[in-house]
A and B are shown apart, each in its own frame.
Chain A
């Protein structure tokens, strides 16, 4: 046993507030039962304990929600921007006031460590609402004409990796610009979206401006195909994104997609190595690697490969995997059995194809879904683990010799969401950034988010931008 062994430091589970045994939808300002009888279960992935049942949204449910949003659009879009801003500021403040509750609830439902929900997710959620609240009365100065108009009713489908943060990315700009929304959270993480519905009521948001319906992909398909919506915003897998694009083809509906990624994190031999190692760890082990912009391919200059690998392995040995509610946990539970199976399948393929697998010694809990932080070295560009998105705590390490080769390898992917550059040479950062086909390029850092900064992809990582002034465009009729 280590000399200095941290005692358990659990955050209170009770801080999550009351979790109902069953949930319906939130439509037209009310919590209503589904018209169907099918119910799904959401579990705590760290224990497999059932947290609540929730409704599988039917087509009739979707009709009701879209109708409510349509009805509310007339008066909401006619409100002066400053009035809409007031509601958003109020929501942002309530989120801050209830941030501990939301952080604990998110950790329980998603499996991510409380350290991250507390220090990353919730501060960003509030910041996003504050940021777009500020835009609400300044839209004429956003560069989209003197009187930019909202699009109408937005159908928004979000993933399970950052449930409340993705909700904020979708709802805040939509509402600021005068749209109304029907949002569907992911079927493994509906609880914080339903709690957000309570916050909308607490803030006195007019009925029908925000509607939340739950369910799996069938509900999402019904929502995105609904004839009465004007826009679809989707974050999730490239496969589903393609299906939505096919559905919307030939209609006048707008579409923004934020899909998968296989980002390159590029470390040059003159990098600040200790900080680069931190960036590599943040890049792939943050949120169990369930991050579309994760730095899942480490491209390291061959001359420092051994040094970087030694330092990385040493650092990985200090990562603490376990109870998401323990304040000292660095890596929590994998979100679902299905995701764990996918990670296991791809890592098995990595070994079978000849890459060298390494994980630190770490004891995983017996119940729940867990995967030890893993790094593959001797990976070549032809391996599946170098090409396919694993969406788990698994890093593939490749090497390069020159900056040109680094760019070629980094861009050699159907995706293009993000990239990282580690070097002390400023001119090389600028040169690389101009060559990399990725929506976000981080220099000497990774996985840093800010509501003022646009985020989105190239190629199969999607189109449209969220965040910043650019994020307004997706919700304006321009």
Chain B
């Protein structure tokens, strides 16, 4: 449906090619005015209807084989996170062991997708993970507030990438967004994207965090999603986990609709990461049902969907044990970290 809006601003109207320029969207960010017109031309969101849809998908009943599949998929999609002022190399090492081998008694449990730490913890995480196929994600750009100048944000990102981060989770400047300075954010994301490049020509994957709890309206969240995708985000992410309202089914649904429409318009697929507040297996099932019914098979993999979470993993492990054994074991039968 956003094709129409893409076309309206398009220099070229062919939508078949798989690049931004061919879809006409490259022109969108040519000026503040054009970017604003595009973002404000996106279809509106009716909050009541959106929340009802998210709640409706939340009533799906996931049982037996479907539940077993979903639990393992959810575990494999976790960015196991520690983002505390009190983080130490020891804590990070312990987290990495948990990521590699979440349930010591059950070696068939999949490993998590990544660990997510502050940039200065990246070297310890890399070392602890060794050759394990688990990515290290670093939050950067003056996380979580984003209140710093561009040089600081670039240096923050460069440090993480130089230390070996596979993924960078950046925050946008919500103040700039709320005061309507969209081009500034577009340029920030593009700069950080450049800073993610490594000397060998590869690049760390860029996740763009909106802090949806501070953008507040669903219309804002949809605009932020398109803004980030236009600027080159590989993933879009709801929240830092540091504010009152983090990921919710409804705001994540907005992100999902955006990546679906963006791929329809450009052919470019972007990942989605809800973060913060997802603590139970039941919560995770609801998100996976949304991925399944809104986005489909193409997004049902850790390459395209992640959970930013810490306590979720243990609940998934307990539910996994329950499904296998038929009884609840309790929190003493999973490791604290």
Contacts and interface: CB of A to CB of B under 8 A. Distances in A.
Contacts of A303: 4
A3 B297 contact: yes
A363 interface: no
A239 interface: no
B303 interface: no
A274 B257 contact: yes
B300 A275 contact: no
Interface in B273-300: 288-289, 291-293, 296-297, 300
Contacts of A6: 60-63, 66
Interface in A113-158: 115, 119
A303 B61 CA distance: 38
Interface string A307-341: 11011000000100000000110000000000000
Interface of B: 1, 3-4, 43-46, 48-50, 52-53, 59-67, 69-70, 73, 257, 288-289, 291-293, 296-297, 300
Contact of A7 (B43, B45, B67, B297): B67
A115 B59 contact: yes
B292 A4 contact: yes
A85 interface: no
B269 to A, nearest CB: 16
A203 interface: no
Contacts of A328: 60-61
Interface in A256-284: 270-275, 278-279
B64 A2 contact: no
Nearest to B4: A307
A272 B61 contact: no
The 6 closest A-B pairs by CB, nearest first: A275-B49, A9-B61, A327-B61, A307-B1, A272-B46, A275-B46
A304 interface: yes
Nearest to A444: B46
A272 B43 contact: yes
Given A5-B66, A7-B64, A275-B45, 12 more contacts: A2-B296, A3-B69, A3-B297, A4-B297, A6-B62, A7-B65, A7-B67, A9-B62, A270-B44, A272-B49, A273-B1, A310-B1
Contacts of B69: 3-4
A308 B52 contact: no
What is the interface of chain A mostly: helix, strand, loop, or mixed? loop
Nearest to B288: A4
Contacts, number: 86
Contacts of B65: 5, 7
Contacts of A424: 44, 46
What is the interface of chain B mostly: helix, strand, loop, or mixed? helix
Contact of B44 (A9, A115, A272, A311): A272
24 contacts: A3-B69, A3-B292, A4-B69, A4-B288, A4-B291, A4-B300, A5-B65, A6-B62, A7-B62, A7-B63, A7-B65, A119-B59, A270-B43, A271-B43, A271-B44, A272-B45, A274-B45, A274-B53, A275-B45, A278-B52, A311-B1, A318-B293, A327-B59, A444-B46
Contact of B70 (A4, A304, A307, A310): A4
Interface in A1-35: 2-9
A445 interface: yes
A15 to B, nearest CB: 15
Contacts of B291: 4
A318 B64 CA distance: 21
Nearest to B222: A274
Contacts of B293: 318
A444 B51 CA distance: 13
Nearest to B41: A270
Contacts of B60: 6, 327-328
Contacts of A7: 62-67
Contacts of A278: 49, 52-53
Contacts of A9: 61-63
Contacts of A270: 43-44
Nearest to A270: B44
A2 B73 CA distance: 14
Contacts of A3: 69, 292, 297, 300
A271 to B, nearest CB: 7
Contacts of B300: 3-4
B46 A304 contact: no
A3 B48 CA distance: 30
B49 A2 contact: no
B292 A274 contact: no
B297 A445 contact: no
A12 to B, nearest CB: 13
A279 B52 CA distance: 10
B66 A275 contact: no
Contacts of A444: 46, 48-49
B46 to A, nearest CB: 4
A345 to B, nearest CB: 32
A275 B70 CA distance: 27
A3 B64 CA distance: 15
A472 to B, nearest CB: 29
Contacts of A318: 293
Which has the most chain A C-beta neighbours within 10 Å: B61, B297, B300? Answer: B61
Which has the most chain B C-beta neighbours within 10 Å: A270, A274, A278, A327? Answer: A274
